[in-house]
Amino acid sequence: MLNPTEPLVIRSVVELQRWSDETRAAGRRIALVPTMGALHEGHLSLVQHGYRHADRVVVSIFVNPTQFGPTEDFARYPRDLVRDLESLRKVGSDAVFAPSVEEIYPNGDATWVNVERLTATLCGRSRPNHFRGVTTVVARLLHAARPHVALFGEKDYQQLAVIRRMARDLCFGVEIIGAPIVREPDGLAMSSRNVFLSPRARQQATALNAALHEARALVRAGVREAGAVVAIARQRIEKEPLAELDYVELVDAENLEPVREVRGRVLLALAVRFEGTRLIDNTLLEAP
């Protein structure tokens, strides 16, 4: 059941661990929803999913500097804790963890968490240290919140796969749950970065979902060759003058390795820049 009251705002790891220990001692299950703030309906759907798997939900709001490259948008990434708290009141949240950078990365810290192989493809090629930052911060958040389950959106499918592998390999004892992509009425996947799009770029960005739709239709029509599926998706995106392709790839849904044909469950993943704003999207394909 959702909690309609004001969420408890927690700033320190010690305080969050105390809250978690008390919640567990009372026999309650905890769900963690890690975010970087600038909350939208996609994030709020994760909170709602959290209450289906747990009694208490804690949302972390932390713009993680270690997952941004030197030329990326860390400095201008949207930050508005007051607005985020107001959004969380609408769906309920028991606690919000909003730490400082120094709280997560104390002076002199020297420990990183790195998952190999899964991070070498897709976004990992153009953002070489991105996933090291993601896995390190998520590991620290899991230790701080001590949840039974943690929820992540399937829009960041590679991130979800990497975190699942990390949690399994390091025996975190936390169930990692993926939640479906939430889209705008025109099909654009919800993202905090959408606010950076100009009206023209925003309209052209709908090509990502259109490309996925055309690829799904091709597979339903019986096409299995990966090159053909990738080609039709690329062609749809390249029709847009502002689109700068990072990648369009068809990979195995489990190990993220490239595939030659649609056999079993495969992932069609896209990354495209519009006027410097990088958007990602994906869909799972399966031969009928």
Active site residue ranges: 43
Helix axes 130-145, 157-169, angle to 10 degrees: 60
SS (H, E, C) 1-32: CCCCCCCEEECCHHHHHHHHHHHHHCCCCEEE
Q: Which pair of tokens denotes residue 14?
A: 């010690």
User: For 31, phi and psi rounded to 5 degrees?
Assistant: -115, 135
CA torsion 187→190→195→198, rounded to 10°? -20
Spatial CA neighbour of 63 closest among 35, 85, 42? 35
- Residue 193 neighbours by CB under 8 Å, 6+ apart: 73, 277, 278, 279
Residue 194 — left, alpha, or beta (φ > 0 → left; ψ -120 to 50 → alpha)?
alpha
Q: What do you get for the CA distance between the two ends of the chain, in Å?
A: 38
d(CA 190, CA 208): 12
Helix axes 130-145, 13-25, angle to 10 degrees: 50
